[in-house]
Structure 1
């Protein structure tokens, strides 16, 4: 399989930039679920339970965003090292179509399926 062209790499780098900007905008907006809750009057147990659920959701989203940003940084590092688009497991080229759909992919589809099956067994 041929290596990625300069134009393909540039397009994928733009996708990574756009994803990072989207994440940073989501984390930084007042409308974001990650915005600090406003202090209210005395609360009952239902209010406290609702606040806890909202906080857990915000924590989960923040962790998701951190993971996405780490994946974007790792993809950029692979680009700098000349390893972007190469499967970290089998060293085969990752198809451009897969990278377009998932620009932070570090495995080809076959190796990713194997990784997910192995990970699913570890969780049982």
Structure 2
């Protein structure tokens, strides 16, 4: 059973929509930058990689929602705090597991 109520899930879905729209707009602006200024190609390539990663994370979060696994840590299976999900709507780990992951202790 999901620890998030229907209202919280709807709100988090809206945050995902906003984040996706924002990312897609940034990607389009960067394409225009590339067309206007060839010198920003390297920066734009890095930005494009980051934007694609962000879009993939959004899609993965939506998939977890569809599978009723959203808000559940992929490492320990514990609920992810709602405040964490509000701050990082694509979070797939609880704070403890994310800290361990960032320290490089988890592959």
How many residue pairs get matched? Answer: 104
4+ residue segments displaced more than 2 Å? 36-39
Distance (whole Å) between structure 1 residues aligned to residue 68 and residue 30 of structure 2: 37
CA displacement at 1:115 relative to structure 2:
0.4
User: Of 98, 113, 119, which residue of structure 1 is paired with 2:84?
Assistant: 98
Q: Could you say which residue in structure 1 is the equivalent of 2:54?
A: 68
Q: Where does the alignment leave 5 or more consecutive residues of structure 2 unmatched?
A: none
Which is greater in Rg? 1
Distance (whole Å) between structure 2 residues aligned to residue 3 and residue 38 of structure 1: 48
Q: Where does the alignment leave 5 or more consecutive residues of structure 1 unmatched?
A: 40-49
Q: Could you say which residue in structure 1 is the equivalent of 2:10?
A: 10
For the Cα contact (< 8 Å) 1:34–1:59, is it kept in 2?
no
Deviations 1:61-92 (A, max 9, x none): 00000000000000000000000000000000
Q: Could you say which residue in structure 1 is the equivalent of 2:103?
A: 117
